[in-house]
Chains A and B, each alone.
Chain A
Amino acid sequence: MRPILLSGHERSLNQIRYNKDGDLLFSVSKDKNVCAWWTANGERLGTYAGHQGAIWTVDVSPNTVILATGSADNTVRLWNIKTGDCIKVWEFPTAVKRVAFSPDGSKLLAVTEKRMGFLGSIAVLDIAYGDGEGNNLDVQAEEPSLRITCAESKATVAGWSYMAKYIIAAHEDGSVSQYDPKTGDQLENIQAHEFDHQINDIQFSADRTHFITASKDKTAKLISARNLAILKTYPADTPLNSASITNKKDYVILGGGQAAMDVTTTSARQGKFEARFYHKVFEDEIGRVRGHFGPLNTIDVHPAGTSYASGGEDGYVRIHHFDKPYFDFMYEVEREQLRK
Chain B
Amino acid sequence: MSRLGNRADWADDEEFDDPSALPAQEVITNKDGTKTVISYRFNDDNKKVKVTRRIKTTTVREHVNPQVAERRSWPKFGTPPGPTFDTTSVGENMVFRPSINWKAQAKEAEKDGGEKGSMKDQLKDKKVKCRICSGEHFTARCPFKDTMAPVEEASGGAGVDADDKEAGGLGAGKSSYVPPHMRNGGAAGGEKMGGRFEKDDLATLRVTNVSELAEEQELRDLFERFGRVTRVFLARDRETQRAKGFAFISYADRGDAAGACEKLDGFGYRHLILHVEFAKRST
A236 shortest CB reach to chain B, Å = 13
The answer to whether A285 touches B103 (Cβ under 8 A) is yes
The answer to whether B76 touches A45 (Cβ under 8 A) is yes
The answer to whether residues A46 and B81 also contact, given A64-B71, A284-B100, A326-B98 and a CB cut-off of 8 A, is: yes
Question: Chain A 269-285, CB within 8 Å of chain B: the 1/0 string?
Answer: 00000000100000011
Contacts of A289 in B (CB 8 A): 94, 96
The 5 sampled A-B contact pairs (Cβ below 8 Å) are A2-B94, A8-B87, A33-B78, A47-B77, A49-B78
How many angstroms between the C-alpha atoms of A83 and B97 in the bound complex? 40
How many angstroms between the C-alpha atoms of A7 and B83 in the bound complex? 13
The answer to whether A286 touches B88 (Cβ under 8 A) is no
B67 shortest CB reach to chain A, Å = 7
Instruction: Name the one of B72, B77, B89 contacting A83, with C-beta atoms under 8 angstroms.
Output: B77
Contacts of A6 in B (CB 8 A): 87-88
In the complex, A3 has a CB within 8 A of chain B? yes
Contacts of A338 in B (CB 8 A): none
A47 shortest CB reach to chain B, Å = 3
In the complex, B2 has a CB within 8 A of chain A? no
Contacts of A286 in B (CB 8 A): 98-100, 102
The answer to whether B102 touches A287 (Cβ under 8 A) is yes
How many angstroms between the C-alpha atoms of A147 and B87 in the bound complex? 39
The answer to whether B97 touches A287 (Cβ under 8 A) is yes
* Interface residue count on the A side (C-beta < 8 Å): 47
The answer to whether residues A5 and B93 also contact, given A285-B102, A286-B98 and a CB cut-off of 8 A, is: no
Instruction: Name the one of A46, A277, A318 contacting B98, with C-beta atoms under 8 angstroms.
Output: A277
Question: Chain B 25-68, CB within 8 Å of chain A: the 1/0 string?
Answer: 00000000000000000000000000000000000000011011
The answer to whether residues A322 and B96 also contact, given A5-B90, A8-B87, A44-B84 and a CB cut-off of 8 A, is: yes
Contact residues of A between 316 and 332, Cβ < 8 Å to B: 318, 320, 322-323, 325-326, 329, 331
Instruction: Name the one of B74, B91, B95, B97 contacting A291, with C-beta atoms under 8 angstroms.
Output: B91
The answer to whether A2 touches B100 (Cβ under 8 A) is no
Q: Give me 8 other A-B pairs in contact (C-beta within 8 A), A7-B86, A23-B72 excluded.
A: A2-B94, A3-B94, A4-B90, A7-B87, A33-B78, A41-B88, A251-B98, A325-B97
Contacts of A185 in B (CB 8 A): none
The answer to whether A287 touches B67 (Cβ under 8 A) is no
B106 shortest CB reach to chain A, Å = 8
The answer to whether B86 touches A5 (Cβ under 8 A) is no
How many angstroms between the C-alpha atoms of A38 and B92 in the bound complex? 20
In the complex, A84 has a CB within 8 A of chain B? yes
Q: Which residues of A contact B (CB under 8 A)?
A: 1-8, 21, 23-24, 33, 35, 37-38, 41-49, 63-64, 82-84, 251, 277, 284-291, 318, 320, 322-323, 325-326, 329, 331
B102 shortest CB reach to chain A, Å = 5
The answer to whether residues A325 and B78 also contact, given A5-B88, A23-B71, A64-B67 and a CB cut-off of 8 A, is: no
| 6 smallest beta-carbon distances between A and B, as pairs | A47-B78, A46-B78, A329-B98, A46-B77, A42-B88, A286-B98
Query: For the side of the interface on B, what is the size category?
Result: 20 to 34
The answer to whether residues A43 and B96 also contact, given A48-B78, A83-B77 and a CB cut-off of 8 A, is: no
A162 shortest CB reach to chain B, Å = 23
Give the residue name and chain of the A residue nearest to B95 (CB). Answer: A1
How many angstroms between the C-alpha atoms of A323 and B97 in the bound complex? 9
Contacts of B106 in A (CB 8 A): 288
Contacts of A2 in B (CB 8 A): 90-94
Contacts of A33 in B (CB 8 A): 78
Contacts of B90 in A (CB 8 A): 2-5, 42
How many angstroms between the C-alpha atoms of A28 and B274 in the bound complex? 75
Contacts of B78 in A (CB 8 A): 33, 35, 44, 46-49, 84
How many angstroms between the C-alpha atoms of A1 and B103 in the bound complex? 20
Contact residues of B between 89 and 146, Cβ < 8 Å to A: 89-100, 102-103, 106
How many angstroms between the C-alpha atoms of A46 and B76 in the bound complex? 6
The answer to whether A287 touches B99 (Cβ under 8 A) is yes
How many angstroms between the C-alpha atoms of A326 and B91 in the bound complex? 18
Contacts of A44 in B (CB 8 A): 76, 78, 83-84, 87-88
How many angstroms between the C-alpha atoms of A1 and B90 in the bound complex? 10
Contacts of B147 in A (CB 8 A): none
In the complex, B79 has a CB within 8 A of chain A? yes
Contacts of B93 in A (CB 8 A): 1-2
Contacts of B77 in A (CB 8 A): 45-47, 83-84
Give the residue name and chain of the B residue nearest to A9 (CB). Answer: B87
The answer to whether residues A43 and B102 also contact, given A3-B94, A322-B96 and a CB cut-off of 8 A, is: no
The answer to whether residues A47 and B102 also contact, given A21-B67, A64-B71 and a CB cut-off of 8 A, is: no
A55 shortest CB reach to chain B, Å = 14
The answer to whether residues A4 and B88 also contact, given A24-B71, A45-B74, A288-B102 and a CB cut-off of 8 A, is: yes
Contacts of A331 in B (CB 8 A): 100
The answer to whether B98 touches A287 (Cβ under 8 A) is yes
Instruction: Name the one of B68, B89, B99 contacting A329, with C-beta atoms under 8 angstroms.
Output: B99
A304 shortest CB reach to chain B, Å = 11
How many angstroms between the C-alpha atoms of A1 and B94 in the bound complex? 5
The answer to whether A291 touches B99 (Cβ under 8 A) is no
Contacts of A326 in B (CB 8 A): 96, 98
How many angstroms between the C-alpha atoms of A7 and B91 in the bound complex? 12
The answer to whether A5 touches B94 (Cβ under 8 A) is no
The answer to whether B96 touches A1 (Cβ under 8 A) is yes
Contact residues of B between 137 and 161, Cβ < 8 Å to A: none
Instruction: Name the one of B74, B84, B100, B102 contacting A82, with C-beta atoms under 8 angstroms.
Output: B74
Contacts of A251 in B (CB 8 A): 98
